[in-house]
Homo-oligomer: A and B are copies of this chain.
């Protein structure tokens, strides 16, 4: 019962995308958002800062698609051609937008910067378009209509593009094209590979009705499952079906699921910490401050995040965390024993209820005959209990940092959930056991 497909083409403009200087993550995000609301992306195209190529692509895209979404090439410099090309394509003049100029002046004032001539040019837009407000940046977006097709131009700066997509572009597109609405459920997993999950769902997947869309969205050390259904007429029944199948899928992979909503692993642990009034501290050797960064990136994290220490040199492990120097000598800094000493050290130093510690060989150097690159020990403290895990990761430093942080955050999350019977102690006297029970 669905009306005709709404076809979109996503266009990115910029030489830097054609010479491997800039990795395009915008169209990845945009495609996901568009497919989520039932708009089918049929083509993604990238061209350089070349007028003829850009104009040719606009014409092709107009033949193929209903919606032409363009990012990039809106900067104030001479090699940014998107605006002049659109003006040429729509064969129109340009007009001054006082509201844009006002915004530019406010923005620059708030950053105590001077507006220069090329900045002021950004307040002039083709007469054929409506301006799309860019509240977090300088370049406004543009919305052109031609018969039943639209051309939309957005800045290439990811956070500006995302804000404008969410605030105005997606809602306007839904209003204009009324795509068959879809509804989604999410099952977010950690610690399982995509193939492992698909094996566990081998029986269920073929049974899914044709109006269901199951997608595996892999991230480092994590896989999100997105279960979507086309709603159409009988919305109520479809939503019931969606919950039915989501639960069936959940049952087959339960032990890997950490959330049933779109949320980061650290934000999920953060909720748990807030609910249980637990304070967290971290001591990071191999993850080098990355776990602290992931928590402090969450707004309001000061409520539960007391602090973090990155004791990169061993003498700081001894001096600040009170790790026994002889222990480091005997077992090596990368050992389960040192991980335990670090987690206890930071927990008492920062007077936190729970704590995380990591130590490992991130690589490429630092390996020994017995300890290869990628060997990592994580330790988590919950009250007076400590749990550890040995990880054998990759040869790649950045991967080892990312994966060890994710594994450590997930281990603490699991151990807190297990701790129905955590005994109140001096460090955590500010709540009582029944507060726990209430939450399980």
Q: Which of B205, B297, B312 contacts A302 (CB 8 A)?
A: B312
B308, A313: Cβ atoms under 8 Å?
A: no
- Nearest Cβ in chain B — how far from A163, in angstroms? 9
Which residues A202-253 have CB closer than 8 A to chain B?
205, 213-218, 224, 226
- Nearest Cβ in chain B — how far from A342, in angstroms? 12
- Complex Cα–Cα for A195 and B138 (A): 11
Q: Is A326 at the interface (CB under 8 A from chain B)? A: no
Q: Is A111 at the interface (CB under 8 A from chain B)? A: yes
Specify which of A32, A300, A302 lies most central, judged by the most chain B CB atoms within 10 Å of its CB: A302
Which residues A13-69 have CB closer than 8 A to chain B?
15-25, 27-33, 35, 40-48, 50, 53, 57, 60
Which of A166-174, A287-295, A379-387, A428-436 participates in binding chain B? A287-295
Q: Is A425 at the interface (CB under 8 A from chain B)? A: no
Q: Is A310 at the interface (CB under 8 A from chain B)? A: yes
- Complex Cα–Cα for A41 and B17 (A): 9
- Show 26 A/B contacts (Cβ-Cβ < 8 Å), sorted by A: A18-B31, A20-B28, A22-B218, A43-B57, A60-B60, A75-B194, A75-B216, A77-B198, A110-B392, A111-B394, A116-B199, A119-B195, A136-B395, A159-B396, A289-B292, A289-B308, A289-B310, A290-B296, A292-B310, A296-B401, A299-B364, A300-B365, A301-B312, A302-B312, A307-B313, A308-B312
B21, A205: Cβ atoms under 8 Å?
A: no
- Nearest Cβ in chain B — how far from A147, in angstroms? 21
B307, A316: Cβ atoms under 8 Å?
A: yes
Complex interface: chain B residues within 8 A of A258 (CB): none
Query: Chain A interface mostly helix, strand, loop or mixed?
Result: mixed
Q: Is A79 at the interface (CB under 8 A from chain B)? A: yes
Complex interface: chain B residues within 8 A of A28 (CB): 20, 22-24
- Complex Cα–Cα for A396 and B158 (A): 13
A363, B299: Cβ atoms under 8 Å?
A: yes
Complex interface: chain B residues within 8 A of A289 (CB): 284, 289-293, 296, 308, 310
B215, A15: Cβ atoms under 8 Å?
A: yes
Q: Mark A residues whose CB is within 8 Å of B.
A: 15-25, 27-33, 35, 40-48, 50, 53, 57, 60, 75-79, 110-113, 116-119, 136, 157, 159, 193-196, 198-199, 205, 213-218, 224, 226, 284, 287-293, 295-297, 299-302, 305-313, 316, 320, 349-350, 362-365, 374, 392-399, 401
- Complex Cα–Cα for A159 and B136 (A): 38
Closest B residue to A35 using CB positions: B19
4 residue pairs, one from A and one from B, having the closest CB atoms: A20-B32, A288-B296, A289-B292, A289-B289
- Complex Cα–Cα for A17 and B214 (A): 14
Q: Which of B44, B110, B113, B312 contacts A45 (CB 8 A)?
A: B44
- Nearest Cβ in chain B — how far from A173, in angstroms? 16
- Complex Cα–Cα for A40 and B110 (A): 42
Complex interface: chain B residues within 8 A of A23 (CB): 25, 28
Closest B residue to A309 using CB positions: B309
